[in-house]
Amino acid sequence: MAIIKVENVKYKYPDTDKLVLNDMTFDVEQGEFIGLIGKNTAGKSTLCFALAGLVPHFFKGAYGGKVLVNGLEVRQHEIGEISPHVGLVFENPFSQMTGSKYTVYEEIAFGLENMGIDREIIVNRIEESLELLDITEIKDKNPFDLSGGQMQRVAIASVIALKPSILILDEPTSQLDPQGTEEVFKVIENLTKEGITIIMAEHKIDKMAGYTDRILLIHEGKLIDFDTPAKLFSREDLQDYGIIAPAVTRISQSLGIQNKENGLYPVTLKELSREMGDKR
Amino acid sequence: MSTMTLYVEKNSILHNTAPLTKVLYVMVSIAITYLIPEIAFVLSVAIITLLLLILGKVFRKIVPILGLSIILILSIIIVQGFFHPQNQTILFSIGFVTFYKEGLSYAALLTLRVMNMIMSFGILILTTKHDELVEAMIKKGLSPKIGYVLLSVLQLIPQMRTTMAKITDAQRSRGMETEGSLLVRMKAFFPLIGPVVLNSINITRERAIALEVRGFSSNQKRSFLNISKEYRYQTAIQVILWLTLAAAIVWRILTWLS
Amino acid sequence: MNSIEVTNLSFSYTPEIDVLKGIHLKLDGETTAIVGQNGAGKSTFVKLLKGLLRPTEGEILLNGKNTKDYTVASLAKEIGLVFQNPNDQIFKNTVIGEVMFGPLNIGQDEQKAKEKSIEALEKVHLEKYLETNPYDLSLSERKLIAIASILSMDPNIVIFDEPTMGQDYAGKETLKEIIFELRNQGKLVLCILHDMDFAAEVFERTIVFNQGKVLIEGPSRDIFAQKEILEQAYLEQPYVAQIADELGLKGSYATDEDLLRALKEE
């Protein structure tokens, strides 16, 4: 059964007349890693907010259609009821620090305490998240003494510790260096093995191609396509939506290298090398 | 970066007293100075509080605050000394200014009460970790939201300082002078304050979102990472404090009746 | 020709920990990317160039001027720095007012400041928003306003701190145009980047920072061909170079065209 069901969702922010989400419908299966792409102002962040229940509960505005997460209809439940199921990490790490905790360790505990989880489990979860994000070294530092990159890891760890069944990430690696980004993608991919469903908005197309199961392309509030990276990036009209295909795909297209079985262009190095190997 | 904490890390009997016991002490010691308006009594309460501060090894920290309050105290003395409605007995005169006994003793009473109040809050704040205090209060039924506000206010200043440093850099980079004459610094006011205000509005909204998705509005009973410290003899001390308060109330009722 | 000369530059906030140590660099006309791990000292380095921080040791010469002898404000004509977060600077209620703030500070008259500002806004394609409140625009548009507000001061040296962060394809294309144009005007452009593809494609030269030191520097092509050294600095090769490597091609590749040419020759 689908863990996320979005049915004909329409939404506009208060005091505006443009639909930021314009009749979107799609399903996500449990344990999938979904990439969310589109140009800036396409509606990616708003969609993330809608899945976490912030739209319409926090932002208000005109709302139509249905979003179901883990069987809960978002509109009918308060954010407090939705938050144990859906975790959200967004771009700016500075504003994701609570400001009421004095160490990274305590910062990660914040959500767990709110949810009334037993102390022993809290400690385990914190240790686990610190290790996953490789931030054990800074566990006693004040969150506001950290660099942007470190803070971003703490923000991710704080949400992962809550073990939500759905994790939504809106540009979570913007301040990380290349290896840091790679590590975060690996951590997230591993979470899907535990059955956690991931939705991640990112501009780093080449990374998305390698890690995601399916990619959701949106443009001006509309869902344009929702398919495997290979199919989606093989589209000829990506530029119309402000997207450029991954380097591997661009090169393959120019050279006419396609997968013989399905006619799609490779999206990862491995696929390219396999096709090239066959050719040579 | 330092947080705005007043807590002084030391090892003393007061540091090893439960936060709520100290809260109770603040309440009782203030209440009884109002219930029993006798100078000798209020003086002895103030002296006990003073001794406790010394016992807590934090007396020196309170001196500047007491110093500041002297201005307040002086004005009490002057106003009460002149204008107390029951002024009858002339104590002494300096030139054309006459001091009355009633006014001065009332002023002394007020002064002692204020000093006692400052010192007893001093005991609480200087010898208690504030997150421990707030958590103890939440466990006693304080709303976690109010608790959050109390704790986050203390981090506001260091956060603002970080933002301010970034803004100053950005504006200096655009050729704005920030050092020099008063006029120069006044001209720098809006370019510096504008982004601070706009930034904090922005951050407040985003932070509200971040808190929400981490279960801030959850109706679940909270759990706590930090284990409450075990304190000994707390019930005994608290009982004594409650009894003191009760005794003061009884004294008050009896004086009314007689 | 504009130049930056850095000799034996060291910097530390506290005596125990050096943020930067013993940096020697000479930059002239070429556009230069600065890459490195989080915390490698890149931002500290550009703040030193800009005069916002003072060297603990060593000297920085901007077109022959020693930064020690000037205040930050008086260096503003020489060197411009675009910060990461535009919200840290925007305070006027119109876009044009915001962009004119810098030029007016450095002594341009109203007329010239306005001219220069409109010119700068045209470069970032925001000229239609002159009277709009910057906070009615999106964050990525505000980033472009921050860039325009430095370009309008017409400094000889322009530094960007992570300009590609959060930008989509169109935003990056705009950035590319701006950098090429500055280059053509003879300006010296420096840019801190986490985006290796952008660095390899757009910049002639690359400096790799690692733990407060310059690990290696040289023409971008050569730098990005060295997989091991990049990994040592916790970086990655650009994708084009990764593809070349995977396919067993020798040589250095920075753009799609480079790679395609080589593959077609095979």
Read off the pLDDT of residues C78-88 as tens digits, 9 standing for 90 and up: 999 999 999 99
One domain for residues B199 and B110: no
Instruction: Please report the pLDDT score of residue B164 as a whole number.
Output: 87
What are the helix (H) ranges across C135-251?
139-151, 169-184, 196-202, 220-224, 227-232, 239-246
Instruction: Please report the pLDDT score of residue A63 as a whole number.
Output: 95
Domain extent at residue B4: 1-128+229-258
Q: Rounded mean pLDDT of C24-35? A: 93
Instruction: Tell me which of B217 and A67 has the higher pLDDT.
Output: A67
Domain spans, chain C:
3-236
Interface residue of A51, A95, A138 to substitute, partner B, most B CBs within 10 Å:
A95
Max intra-chain CA distance, chain B: 77
Q: Which residues of C touch B (CB under 8 A)?
A: 47, 50, 52, 71-73, 76-77, 80-81, 83, 85, 87-92, 101-102, 105-106, 135, 149-150, 153
Q: Which residues of A touch C (CB under 8 A)?
A: 39-41, 91, 147-150, 171, 174-182, 203, 206, 239, 242-244, 246-248, 250-251, 254-255, 269, 272-273, 276
> Measured between alpha carbons, how far is B242 from B20 in angstroms, rounded to an integer?
13
One domain for residues B216 and B233: no
Which of A245-259, B40-54, C241-255 bottoms out in mean pLDDT, i.e. has the lowest?
Answer: C241-255
Neighbour subunits, B (≥3 Cβ pairs < 8 A): A, C
Answer yes or no: do C90 and B195 touch at CB < 8 A: yes
Sheet holding C205-210, edge to edge: C79-82, C157-161, C188-192, C32-36, C205-210, C213-219
Q: Rounded mean pLDDT of A80-89? A: 93
Interface residue of B161, B214, B221 to substitute, partner A, most A CBs within 10 Å:
B214
User: Which residue ranges form the domains of chain A, and what is each CATH number?
Assistant: 2-236 (3.40.50.300), 246-280 (no CATH)
Which of A18-22, A108-112, B47-51, C12-16 bottoms out in mean pLDDT, i.e. has the lowest?
Answer: C12-16
Instruction: Please report the pLDDT score of residue B229 as a whole number.
Output: 81
Confidence of residue B3 (pLDDT cuts 50, 70, 90): low
CATH architecture, range C3-236? 3-Layer(aba) Sandwich (3.40)
The secondary structure of residue C238, as a DSSP letter, is: -
- Sign (positive/negative) of CA torsion B85, B86, B92, B96? positive
One domain for residues B6 and B99: yes
Q: Rounded mean pLDDT of B217-246? A: 89
One domain for residues B27 and B69: yes
Does B53 fall in a domain? Answer: yes
- Residue A237, pLDDT above cutoff 80: yes
Selected residues 164-183 of chain C with any CB under 8 Å from a CB in chain A: 165-171
Read off the pLDDT of residues B165-208 as tens digits, 9 standing for 90 and up: 889 999 999 988 877 778 877 888 888 888 888 888 888 889 99
CA–CA min distance B197, chain A (Å): 15
B159 → chain A, closest CA residue: A144
Residues of A in contact with C234 (CB under 8 A): 177-180
Which of A8-12, A53-57, B196-200, C238-242 bottoms out in mean pLDDT, i.e. has the lowest?
Answer: B196-200
One domain for residues B235 and B147: no
Q: Rounded mean pLDDT of A58-70? A: 94
One domain for residues B20 and B97: yes
Contacts of C247 (CB under 8 A, 6+ apart): A272, A273, A276, C263
Q: Rounded mean pLDDT of A215-243? A: 95
Read off the pLDDT of residues B56-108 as tens digits, 9 standing for 90 and up: 988 888 888 888 888 878 887 777 777 777 777 777 777 777 777 788 888 88
The complex's ipTM? 0.86
Does B135 fall in a domain? Answer: no
Q: From residue A67, how far is each of A41, A123, A213, A227 by CA, in Å?
A: 21, 33, 21, 20
Q: From residue C69, how far is each of B112, C21, C60 by CA, in Å?
A: 58, 22, 10
Read off the pLDDT of residues C89-147 as tens digits, 9 standing for 90 and up: 999 999 999 999 999 999 899 999 999 999 999 999 999 999 999 988 988 899 999 99
Whether residue C219 is preceded by a cis peptide bond, meaning omega within 30 degrees of 0, is: no
Q: From residue C201, how far is each of A6, C23, C39, C205, C255 by CA, in Å?
A: 40, 26, 24, 10, 5
- Residue B4, pLDDT above cutoff 70: no
Confidence of residue B1 (pLDDT cuts 50, 70, 90): very low
Tokens standing for residue B80: 């009460």
The secondary structure of residue A241, as a DSSP letter, is: G
> Measured between alpha carbons, how far is A96 from A115 in angstroms, rounded to an integer?
18
One domain for residues B115 and B6: yes
- Please count the other Cβ atoms lying within 10 Å of the Cβ belonging to residue B168: 19
Answer yes or no: do A113 and B223 touch at CB < 8 A: yes
Instruction: Please report the pLDDT score of residue C200 as a whole number.
Output: 95
CB nearest B217 (choices: A79, A106, A119): A79
> Measured between alpha carbons, how far is C31 from C4 in angstroms, rounded to an integer?
12
Answer yes or no: do C170 and A242 touch at CB < 8 A: yes
Q: Rounded mean pLDDT of B37-41? A: 92
Q: What is residue C156's three-state secondary structure?
A: coil
Contact A267, A209 (CB under 8 A): yes
CA–CA min distance A22, chain B (Å): 23
CA–CA min distance B146, chain A (Å): 11
One domain for residues B47 and B111: yes
C243 → chain A, closest CA residue: A269
Instruction: Tell me which of A248 and C16 has the higher pLDDT.
Output: A248
Instruction: Please report the pLDDT score of residue C31 as a whole number.
Output: 96
Does B136 fall in a domain? Answer: no
With a pLDDT cut of 90, the percent of chain C lying above it is: 75
Instruction: Please report the pLDDT score of residue B218 as a whole number.
Output: 83
Answer yes or no: do B213 and A54 touch at CB < 8 A: yes
One domain for residues B18 and B122: yes
C245 → chain A, closest CA residue: A269
Contacts of C165 (CB under 8 A, 6+ apart): A174, A175, C84, C194
Does B133 fall in a domain? Answer: no
> Measured between alpha carbons, how far is B9 from A268 in angstroms, rounded to an integer?
56
- Residue B2, pLDDT above cutoff 60: no
H/E segment holding residue B191? helix B189-213
- Residue A21, pLDDT above cutoff 90: yes
Average pLDDT, chain C: 92
CA–CA min distance B201, chain C (Å): 11
Number of structural domains in chain B: 2
Average pLDDT, chain B: 86
One domain for residues B113 and B6: yes
User: C54 pairs with which residues across the strands?
Assistant: none
Please tell me the pTM assigned to this model: 0.87
Burial status of residue B83 (CB atoms within 10 A of its CB: 0-12, 13-18, 19 or more): exposed
One domain for residues B88 and B152: no
One domain for residues B116 and B11: yes
